[in-house]
Amino acid sequence: MDFTYDDEQIALRDAVRGLLARKYSDFEQRRRQVAEDPGFDESLWGELAEMGVLGLPFSEDDGGMGAGPVEVAIVATELGRVIAPEPFLSSVVLAGGLVALAGTPEQRTEVLGSLASGERVLALAHLEPGDPVTATPSGDSWTLSGVKEPVVHGARADQVVVSATRPDGSLGLFLVEGDAATRAGYSSYDGGRAARISFEDTTAVALGDPETDGAPLLEQALAGARIAACHEMLGGMEVALSATTDYLKSRKQFGVTLNTFQALNFRAADMYVSLELARSTALWASMVHATGDAAATREAAARAGLHVGKAARHIGQDAIQLHGGIAMTAEYLVGNITARLTVLERFLGDGDHLSVLAAGIDDHAALDPIPEPTA
């Protein structure tokens, strides 16, 4: 596989990197931004829309740019490099991706067009702290009852895509106006935003065909978002490793810089190996996603999630240890990157990847791909 970006992809990377550098090159700017609601810069969100970034994954007929998973990966990596709090992953890739898969042509044009132009922020309400959210038919529409939490950027969202259990037990997908439900927003561990959303006979509109089982479409959208999240983690890991090696070259102990000690250099080298293995796996997963094969994409997302999650834990934890106490402070970049990596790792599935991969192990003729050595 060729992992080299073409000229247009390089131009996209440089343009997004330049825009984000103007806003978040100083880490203090990011700290100030996440301290106030809605937790991200609305003006920067508008600039990303003008650049066409918010419409990248969607077809031109739906108001998007008609790009693919590799272009989404490029943007996610740049956002990860500055741990930008803008809801690209949750709103555009995940919730928008689900609308693109399940929505009617009219819904796609209306919802995705306004999402791509920056006029509307979406959120996906899927996780449930207790009993499932239920959907009941009510004339031409539906009503929803129950609680969803956490909903990433749920308090800011203009519209929420909700999964709910229909009377026949199948999973339905619905669109709910943001202010139609009761929302309680709060800050998350990484400085982001999430919400608890309560539905009490809340009016909802079926997303797409109301008779279609939404479970496979939801899994497909989650797989695409997990692959994009892997790339956001790659951006964070790149910066954490760079900050760590710079620190080892400049911090002195016993009259010499820390990179004088071979044991510390070995740990930095191990971090680099973890990063490159994670990068290869994430890029491979994006290229599988670009083929449009839903089953292969779900497996690739599980493999990438497993590898990138392990690499993130290794690089984040070692970056903190090699920096010493300074990395534990709220003012220092490395600790904040590790917090974001931890949140994204949980977002990636929190251990589900092994279950997904184990379920398909009988599909392989041999469990050990390494042949026996010949005499």
The tens digit of pLDDT for each residue in 327-360 reads: 888 889 999 999 999 999 887 666 567 777 777 7
Q: What are the extents of the domains in the chain?
A: 7-120, 123-212, 215-361
What are the two backbone dihedrals, phi and then psi, of residue 355, each rounded to the nearest 5 degrees? -65, -40
- Cα maximum dimension of the chain: 78
Instruction: Give the CA count within 13 Å in the CB-facing half-sphere of 307.
Output: 23
What are the two backbone dihedrals, phi and then psi, of residue 103, each rounded to the nearest 5 degrees? -70, 155
Q: Which residues of the chain are under the pLDDT cut of 50? A: none
> One fold for both 7-120 and 215-361?
no
pLDDT value of position 348 = 66
DSSP state of 129: S
Residues composing the chain: 375
Q: Are 236 and 189 in contact (CB under 8 A)?
A: no
pLDDT value of position 234 = 98
- Could you tell me which residues are beta bridge partners of residue 136? 143
Q: Which of 205, 159, 208 is nearest to 183 (CA)?
A: 159
Q: Which two tokens stand for residue 252?
A: 């002195």
pLDDT value of position 198 = 98
Indicate the CATH number of 7-120 among 3.40.50.300, 1.10.540.10, 3.30.70.60, 3.30.1360.120: 1.10.540.10
For tokens 């490029």, the residue is 74
Q: Are 293 and 252 in contact (CB under 8 A)?
A: no
Listed in order, strand segments (DSSP E) in the chain are: 122-125, 134-138, 141-152, 159-165, 171-177, 182-187, 193-206, 252-253, 256-257
What are the two backbone dihedrals, phi and then psi, of residue 323, each rounded to the nearest 5 degrees? -85, -20
pLDDT value of position 349 = 67
Indicate the CATH number of 215-361 among 3.90.180.10, 1.20.140.10, 1.10.730.10, 3.30.70.120: 1.20.140.10
pLDDT per residue over 101-145, tens digit each? 999 999 999 999 999 999 999 999 999 999 999 999 988 899 999
Fold for 123-212, please state it: Butyryl-CoA Dehydrogenase, subunit A; domain 2 (2.40.110)
pLDDT value of position 351 = 59
